Structure 1
Amino acid sequence: MPVPVTLHGRAVRLEPLAEHHVEALAAAAAEDRGSYAFTPVPSGIEATEQYVADALAAQAAGRAVPFATVRTADGRVVGSTRFCELDYWQGPVIWPPAPRGPLGSPLTAIPDAAEIGGTWLSARAQGTGINTEAKLLMLRHAFETWGVRRVSLRADARNVRSRAAIEGLGAVLEGVHRAHTRGLDGVVRGTAFYSVLDEEWPRVREQLRRRVGERRGTTRTRTLVPA
């Protein structure tokens, strides 16, 4: 699995998710849960403990790199995000194509493709620019440190605000998988899939840099982060 890393920005710091984040994560999730209709967010200490344990198990298996999202202004944990669906393309071609783990040591493996997901923010952190800068940090790490060929994102097709937020990052809509899975409400839902390719990264990077810079001179507006 890729080595856990801390990603530093001006407004946000993404640090490797750990058990010591449980209490702060539970507090962040409890502020106001009104925006979590389409987003899996733990509720309470016990659920948050399981949430962190599951994320760390996925990390140990080489399937994810989870982060705690920390606001730099006061050091407060305000949510979580992660790299997931890590895919490795080294070695002989396999058919039919399917995600696979690294051929070498999982401790030093570098993925060829990844997804950004599991993103949520506390109510007061939404609309502050933290999500935009966090995505800039993660995309930069994926494309410029790992050298991936693509980064994917997805959202419940009904989640208009999350889809707008993803599109605002500069990601391209690949399509909607109809009747793809069940949503948190138990209803069979479609899933909107987006991606950024390595050749698109310079354009997306400049767009995000402008948005982060412009955000420092604006007032707060509420927006829902991608699910």
Structure 2
Amino acid sequence: MPAPVILSGRSVRLEPLAPCHAPALAAAAAADRTSYAFTPVPHGLDAAYAYIHSALADQEAGRTLAFATVRAADGLVVGSTRFCELDYWDGPVVWPPAPRGPLTGAADAVPDAADIGGTWLSAHAQGTGINTEAKLLMFQHAFDTWRVRRISLRADARNTRSRAAIEGLGAVCEGVRRVHTRGLDGLVRGTAFYSVLDEEWPTVRRTIEERLARARREVNGRRLVPA
């Protein structure tokens, strides 16, 4: 299974999620929870520890690789994200197809495909470019280091904000699976599925880099305007 890794950018650092992040994670999630209607986000310190324990159990089983999202400017934990549904295509064909761990059990095995999900940010970190750069770091690691063939993303079909963010990265919408599962509100929901393929990655990289550059120019322009 892939080893935990630190991914660093200009505005964000993704650290392997660990119990030491629980207090800061709980604080980040407590600021303003109005944007979490479609996203499982821990509420309170005990819930933060349980959230981390569950993520690490999935990681130990080879299903995920979870991160704490840290603002680079001040080291503040502002959320979490993860690779999930790690899929390995070595060995004999199995049916029905489903994500599985490496058949060899090799510690250095890396997936052929994966999802990015479980992403949430504190209210004050939303809209700052942190999520966009975090996605760039994860795409880079998946496509350039692991050499995956596909990265998938998904969202509650009702979550227009999350879907717009995914589409803004350049991911392709594969469609909406109708009446797919229950949402956090208990209602049966559809799920919108997106993907980026390895041959699409260079174009997606340029799209994200240009988006980040525009955001930085806008921030710098505001700073030049006298108060």
The answer to whether the superposition gives a TM-score over 0.5 is: yes
Partner in structure 2 of residue 113 of structure 1: 113
**Distance in 1 between residues matched to 2:211 and 2:157, nearest whole Å:** 25
Aligned ranges 1:76-225 → 2 under 5 Å = 76-219=76-219
Shift of 1:94: 2.2
Shift of 1:99: 2.1
Partner in structure 2 of residue 16 of structure 1: 16
Partner in structure 1 of residue 45 of structure 2: 45
Moved more, 9-18 or 205-214: 205-214
Structure 2: give runs of 5+ residues left out of the alignment: 221-227
**Distance in 1 between residues matched to 2:137 and 2:124, nearest whole Å:** 21
**Distance in 1 between residues matched to 2:164 and 2:106, nearest whole Å:** 35
Q: Helix, strand or coil for the counterpart of 1:194? A: strand
Partner in structure 1 of residue 56 of structure 2: 56
**Distance in 2 between residues matched to 1:70 and 1:96, nearest whole Å:** 38
CA contact (8 A) 1:81 1:120 kept: yes
**Distance in 2 between residues matched to 1:33 and 1:98, nearest whole Å:** 34
**Distance in 1 between residues matched to 2:205 and 2:214, nearest whole Å:** 14
**Distance in 1 between residues matched to 2:95 and 2:37, nearest whole Å:** 38
Q: Helix, strand or coil for the counterpart of 1:67? A: strand
**Distance in 2 between residues matched to 1:84 and 1:53, nearest whole Å:** 15
What amino acid sits opposite 1:67 in the alignment? F
Q: Helix, strand or coil for the counterpart of 1:65? A: strand
TM-score (norm 2): 0.95
Shift of 1:96: 3.2
Shift of 1:97: 2.2
CA contact (8 A) 1:81 1:119 kept: yes
Q: CA RMSD in A?
A: 1.1
Shift of 1:103: 1.4
Q: Helix, strand or coil for the counterpart of 2:110? A: coil
Shift of 1:106: 4.6
Q: Helix, strand or coil for the counterpart of 2:175? A: strand
TM-score (norm 1): 0.95
Structure 1: give runs of 5+ residues left out of the alignment: 221-227
Write out per-residue CA displacement over residues 150-188 of structure 1, whole angstroms, 9 at most, x where no aligned residue: 000000000011100000010000011111000000000
What amino acid sits opposite 2:3 in the alignment? V
Shift of 1:107: 2.2
**Distance in 2 between residues matched to 1:212 and 1:3, nearest whole Å:** 28
**Distance in 1 between residues matched to 2:11 and 2:141, nearest whole Å:** 17
Which structure carries more relative contact order (alpha carbon 8 Å, separation 6+)? 1
Gap change, CA 1:186 and 1:59, over 3 Å in 2:
same
**Distance in 1 between residues matched to 2:38 and 2:171, nearest whole Å:** 20
Write out per-residue CA displacement over residues 46-73 of structure 1, whole angstroms, 9 at most, x where no aligned residue: 1111000000001000000000000000
Partner in structure 2 of residue 225 of structure 1: none
**Distance in 2 between residues matched to 1:24 and 1:50, nearest whole Å:** 14
Q: Helix, strand or coil for the counterpart of 2:70? A: strand
CA contact (8 A) 1:2 1:106 kept: no
**Distance in 2 between residues matched to 1:72 and 1:45, nearest whole Å:** 23
Gap change, CA 1:162 and 1:78, over 3 Å in 2:
same
